[in-house]
């Protein structure tokens, strides 16, 4: 379906991929304790998040370079999310500009940003997102250095991205992808950076990325973004309960428990294992979301039983995108919806709010 280098870019994680594997494995160690006799004929999967009503508790998380998987991949995925009644979170590294995603009609829409050495650039991102009427801003805090993704190095899909001879050979073998992307490949870039950096090509921008990102990222930057952004403001990449508490003190409106899908710090705790500590620390004051390893409706219900308000998916939507564009992402969301519905029915639950810790078997 996809050239090896592109499949691995999405599928892979950092170093030995321990965290990547653990994200899924940790879910498989948690079991539900159903109560079928409560009678759950009609189920309602809707939730409310920051004043918006969503038809299911699954959002699409930010993934850079989604346009590698389908022409205008971000717009296709965003449309599918909107039609499914959920949120699309645009990545800083979208192939089309954030304004184009907004113009595609995605609603509600969130924007994910980083902190750069040039803080003016971070502020510019926030201002552009505000001008394009994004509903929430997500600051990813676990990407101040880029993770060591060895599959990419092996494939010659490096940062800076450069397709080596093996990668090229792999592409030629995937003719349907190559045909679909024939007009796109030359315009694949980090579109949101083009104007600011005065460079249009992916390679030049990617080469400059490490020097743009700032490893001195700190709470002061959270304060600054909080000050610049008036709407809901979330931190993505929180794993430690103390950080969750600090985030609350800084006026953050939501927390995404995440280890970046195992792509950054290999050896980091699985998201679902970190969730209970963060939920305890937050004590219901703001929504806590989770991503990493969510593959089934039962994973979503498990995360909700542990106190999450909703889950985000990364890779699953990219696979849908790679197979059939907008229709593929729609299908992925539809499968999640049907699975959550079935799990709820089998557990004797009619509303998301009824999902609580009593639904989980404790060892
Ligand atoms: C190909 C790819 C690109 C990603 N790019 C970003 C990004 O630009 N910003 C970000 O905050 N997270 C990024 N992530 C991480 C996702 O937002 C999310 O945390 C992760 O994919 C969740 O894990 P899952 O893939 O197991 O669902 C990316 C993930 C993938 C797979």
Counting beta carbons within 10 angstroms of the beta carbon of residue 44, is it exposed (0 to 12), middle (13 to 18) or buried (19 or more)? Answer: middle
Task: Check pocket membership of 128 for ligand 1, CB cut-off 6 A.
Answer: no
pLDDT of residue 363: 62
> For 288, phi and psi rounded to 5 degrees?
-115, 120
Task: Check pocket membership of 61 for ligand 1, CB cut-off 6 A.
Answer: yes
Nearest alpha carbon, ligand 1 atom 17: 62
Please enumerate in sequence order all residues whose Cβ is within 8 A of that of 127, keeping only pairs 6 or more positions apart, or say none. Answer: 228
Please enumerate in sequence order all residues whose Cβ is within 8 A of that of 145, keeping only pairs 6 or more positions apart, or say none. Answer: 210, 213, 215
Q: What is the pLDDT along the chain (363 residues), one digit of tens a residue?
A: 898 989 999 999 999 999 999 999 999 999 999 999 998 899 999 999 999 999 999 999 999 999 999 999 999 999 999 999 999 999 999 999 999 999 999 999 999 999 999 999 999 999 999 999 999 999 999 999 999 999 988 888 754 455 667 777 777 778 888 899 988 888 889 999 998 888 778 888 888 888 999 999 999 999 999 999 999 999 999 999 999 999 999 999 999 999 999 999 999 999 999 999 999 999 999 999 999 999 999 999 999 999 999 999 999 999 999 999 999 999 999 999 999 999 999 999 999 999 999 999 876
Contact 44, 55 (CB under 8 A): no
Q: How far apart, in Å, are the Cα atoms of 289 and each of 218, 237, 277, 327?
A: 22, 10, 13, 26
Nearest alpha carbon, ligand 1 atom 28: 63
pLDDT of residue 220: 97
**Known catalytic residue: 227?**
no
pLDDT of residue 23: 98
Nearest alpha carbon, ligand 1 atom 4: 63
Query: CATH no. for residue 202?
Result: 3.20.20.70
Task: Check pocket membership of 13 for ligand 1, CB cut-off 6 A.
Answer: no
- Tell me, in angstroms, the distance from the centre of ligand 1 to residue 34's CA: 32
Nearest alpha carbon, ligand 1 atom 2: 63
Total number of domains constituting the chain? 1
Contact 139, 223 (CB under 8 A): no
From the alpha carbon of 9, which atom of ligand 1 is closest? Answer: 1
Q: Find the domain containing 278 and state its range.
A: 4-359
Instruction: Read off the tokens for 189.
Output: 């870039």
pLDDT of residue 159: 46
């Amino acid at each position: 379906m996809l050239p090896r280098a592109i499949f691995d870019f999405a599928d892979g994680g950092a170093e030995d991929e321990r965290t990547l594997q653990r994200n899924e494995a940790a879910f498989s160690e948690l079991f539900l304790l159903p109560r079928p006799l409560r009678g759950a004929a009609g189920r309602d999967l809707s939730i409310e998040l920051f004043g918006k009503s969503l038809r299911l508790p699954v959002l699409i998380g930010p993934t850079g370079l989604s346009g590698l998987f389908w022409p205008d991949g971000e717009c296709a995925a965003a449309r599918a999310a909107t039609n499914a009644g959920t949120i699309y979170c645009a990545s800083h590294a979208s192939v089309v500009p954030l304004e184009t995603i907004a113009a595609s009609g995605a609603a509600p829409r969130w924007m994910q940003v980083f902190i750069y050495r040039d803080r003016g650039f971070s502020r510019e991102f926030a201002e552009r997102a505000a001008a394009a009427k994004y509903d929430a801003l997500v600051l990813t805090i676990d990407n101040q250095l880029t993770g060591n993704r060895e599959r990419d190095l092996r494939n010659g899909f490096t940062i800076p991205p450069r397709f080596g001879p093996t990668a090229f050979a792999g592409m030629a073998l995937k003719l349907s992808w190559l045909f679909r992307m024939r007009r796109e490949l030359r315009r694949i870039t980090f579109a949101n950076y083009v104007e600011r950096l005065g460079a249009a090509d992916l390679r030049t921008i990617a080469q400059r990325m490490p020097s743009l990102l700032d490893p001195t990222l700190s709470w002061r930057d959270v304060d600054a973004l909080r000050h610049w952004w008036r709407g809901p403001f979330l931190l993505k990449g929180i794993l430690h309960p103390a950080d969750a508490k600090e985030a609350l003190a800084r006026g953050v409106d939501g927390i995404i428990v995440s280890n970046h899908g195992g792509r950054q710090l290999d050896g980091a705790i699985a998201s679902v294992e970190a969730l209970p500590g963060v939920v305890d620390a937050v004590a219901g004051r703001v929504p806590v979301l989770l991503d990493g390893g969510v593959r089934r409706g039962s994973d979503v219900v498990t995360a909700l039983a542990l106190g999450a308000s909703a889950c985000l998916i990364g890779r699953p939507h990219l696979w849908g995108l790679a197979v059939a564009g907008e229709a593929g992402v729609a299908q992925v969301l539809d499968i999640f919806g049907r699975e959550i519905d079935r799990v709820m029915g089998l557990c004797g639950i009619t509303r998301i709010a009824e999902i609580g810790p009593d639904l989980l078997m404790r060892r």
